[in-house]
Amino acid sequence: GPLNSLPGKIGVVDVKDMVEATEFVCKSGKVDPARVGICGGSHGGFLTGHLIGQYPDLFKVAAMRNPVTNIASMVTSTDIPDWCYVEGLGNGKYNWKEFKGPTNQEMDTMWKASPIAHVKNAVAPTLVALGMSDQRVPPSQGLE
């Protein structure tokens, strides 16, 4: 199903869905394409970061709460490292019995799947709200 389409393809499949939905609504005339904003928290913040970096002309303003910005740096500082492996690398890439740090190649793949890989393209004014006690998405993610 749709949920199983994400592992190993986050930042691509979910971004494509959001862009298609946003463009559809813009073309409907129900919103002003010059005033499209986006907001999200946690994985929604992850999507927000990707969207403003990959589609800077579409999204004019953004707000992110506890965003995942860099999967590679999050994997060793979160209580859900499995999410980083499964979503960043794909199903079957996490050893559920024993945690190990990611290899250089895995770190590179995780970084490329992260919004931080596109931050140089972002131009939208962006509010970043951080929860200092969030164990899933450490505040360091929003600072990056």
Q: How many CA atoms lie within 13 A of 59 on its CB side?
A: 28
pLDDT value for 15? 96
| SS3 category, 65 | strand
At 17-67, the pLDDT tens digits run: 999 999 999 999 999 999 999 999 999 999 999 999 999 999 999 999 999
Identify the helix (H) or strand (E) that includes residue 129: strand 126-129
Distance CA 113, CA 126 (A): 20
pLDDT value for 99? 78
Q: Is the pLDDT of residue 3 over 80?
A: no
Characterize 105-116 residue by residue with b for buried, 16 or more Cβ atoms within 10 angstroms of its Cβ, and e for exposed: ebbebbeebbbb
CA 69 to chain centre: 6
Per DSSP, what are the bridge partners of residue 39? 63
Rounded mean pLDDT, 115-120: 97
Q: Is the pLDDT of residue 124 over 80?
A: yes
pLDDT value for 1? 60
